[in-house]
A = this chain, B = another copy of it.
Amino acid sequence: MKFEAKKLKEIIQKIFVHAGASEENASIIANALVLAELRGIPSHGVIRIKDYLMLVRNNRMVLNPNITIVHETPSTALVDGGNGPGMVIGTFAMKVAMQKAKEAGSGWVSVRNSNHFGIAAYYTLMAAEQDMIGFAMTNGNPLVPPTFGLDRLLGTNPIAMSIPSNSEGTFTADFATTPIPRGKFEIMEKTGKKAPWGVLQDAEGNITDDPSILRRGGAILPLGGDYEHAGYKGYALAAMVDILSAVLSGANFGPYVPPQVAYLPLRNDLPGMGLGHFFGALRLDAFRPADEIKSYMDMWIRTFRNSKAMKDKKVLIPGDPEVEKQAKNEVEGIIILPEIWNEMFTELQAWGLTEKDLL
């Protein structure tokens, strides 16, 4: 299936309005999912619709949450997301951070009682558009053991930062703190390929290149890999994200993060509320005139882009591949795999929606 971005947005918005979301909330969800598809990150796009709706249908998420600012100072806020969709809550929280940055130079918002928020760059790009540096991070379902550990205690806990330049585009780092996403190991297994050495461990903690190990007590290591390759730094980084997202806010941390799919049961010993995020906005001209910083950023980007590269390679700026895909997909349309499209309808059926209602 191939869609224009605008058409895909309309379809997703229609789905969530039908499910009970306000026009505004449905529009935010649609924007965030479509941006993920445009930027070539389908794991955070249409494939999530069925998961979100199943959570709603099982009374594990609400579509129109009561989002509140629990506490605030001139440059910080604690937001309770009322157990709504992560992107509705995240957009609210990022706007609070940006408003505070306007008034106090910077804004930092820790969020509890939220859910999966899509791609982190969705929020950091909002800030970059207004001459701010945007930061976003979130904890997630536990998949990753700490260094020397066997229990899965941390999510893939992504970190994102965007900063605009004058003429060289926006620098956007947006990365999980694990080397390789879970989905890629499934593909390796299906195609009979080995995983790169050093990113997986078996149930006893030995390094393995067998991707099927994830179904047999194994785990994905944090960025860096094992102790010898400094994976403890990736563990520290994932821990920092977990602490800023959950310990500051009172969300569930590490192993307690509630599953973002309804077919996995909720634990009954949750110490916190929902899943946690952390957002930040730093106004450029809270340091130097924005134009000065943005033209220095031009120079930074050009220096890296024009540096010497390996044979047949070029040095990329974080965000380059996503920007390229977005430009292409905006012209050529977004491809949704038939299995993802059809799987979505198995859930939409429960809501009384058929393909005919949407196309």
Contact = CB atoms under 8 A, between A and B. Distances in A.
Contacts of A225: 198, 225, 229
A242 B300 CA distance: 10
A20 interface: no
Contacts of A224: 179, 223-224, 234
A253 interface: yes
B287 A147 contact: no
A74 B71 contact: no
Q: For the side of the interface on A, what is the size category?
A: 35 or more
Contacts of A315: 146-149
A150 to B, nearest CB: 4
B300 A253 contact: yes
Given A108-B106, A230-B180, A308 B240 contact: no
Please tell me how many copies of the chain the complex holds: 2
A153 B198 contact: no
Contacts of A78: 287-288
Contact of A223 (B104, B149, B223): B223
A122 interface: no
A218 interface: no
Interface in A141-167: 145-151, 153, 159, 161, 163
Interface stretch (A22-30, A81-89, A243-251): A243-251
Given A180-B230, A300-B243, A287 B175 contact: no
A271 B247 contact: no
B110 A287 contact: yes
A58 interface: no
A300 B105 contact: no
Given A179-B230, A224-B223, A229-B198, A310 B76 contact: no
